[in-house]
Amino acid sequence: MDHLRKFNRKIPCWFLLLPGLFCMTACRNEPRPDGLPKLYPATLTFTQEDQPLAEAQVVLVPQDKALAKWVVGGITDAKGVLRVKTHGKFSGAPLGKYKMTVSKTEIDQEETVRRGNVDANITRFVDLVDAKFQTVELSPLEIEITTGKNASVFDLGQPVRTPVPLPSI
């Protein structure tokens, strides 16, 4: 019985040590990848008819192919503001000219359809941003990241609700 009392007294020590061990491994700063260029802060605001475009995915595609290995962009906040990050962790973007794509998709409806004797759950989605902003080839959106202040506002026009085609089965 004495060995159980000693064991029970040691348990709280382990619980006190675990958060510290976790922070030593997970809470430290992420090391910068080799070759990551200097990053410059950029704050971009996206609207549709002057209303914030919240939760939109924005990708900055570099025109300089040497920067193509660095993923730059992020998700807009409730005010339509994006604080640009590289690789989702590092604040800012490398210097250069970029084309931008913007997309936002949401669930329109979910339904169950019977095919033969099998029920299939189908989720239908809608795009909330005009298709011309969703591909690099069509998007008119461009920005140059400089050493100065990088803050711009982009209005994407009227909101849309374009059904996303279902994949063929």
- In this prediction, residue 169 carries a pLDDT of 63
Q: Which of 12-16, 25-29, 86-90, 161-165 has the lowest mean pLDDT?
A: 12-16
Reported as a pLDDT band with limits 50, 70 and 90, residue 2 is very low
Could you tell me the residue ranges of all domains in the chain?
Answer: 39-163
Query: At residue 159, does pLDDT exceed 80?
Result: yes
Strand partners, 48: 51
Strands (DSSP E) along 35-104, which ranges?
A: 39-40, 43-48, 51-52, 57-62, 72-75, 81-83, 85-86, 90-91, 93-94, 96-103
Look at strands 81-83 and 43-48 and give their pairing. antiparallel
Counting runs of H as helices and runs of E as strands, what totals does the chain give? Answer: 1, 15
Place of tokens 């348990």: 11
Task: Tell me if the pTM is above 0.85.
Answer: no
CB 56 within 8 A of CB 106: no
Whole-number average pLDDT of the chain? 85
The CB-based long-range contact list for 104-113 (8 Å cut-off, 24+ gap) reads 104/53, 104/55, 104/56, 104/57, 104/128, 104/129, 105/164, 108/161, 108/163
Q: Which pLDDT tens digit goes with each residue over 115-139?
A: 788 888 888 899 999 999 999 999 9
CATH of domain 39-163: 2.60.40.10
Q: Which pLDDT tens digit goes with each residue over 15-45?
A: 333 344 344 444 446 788 899 999 999 999 9
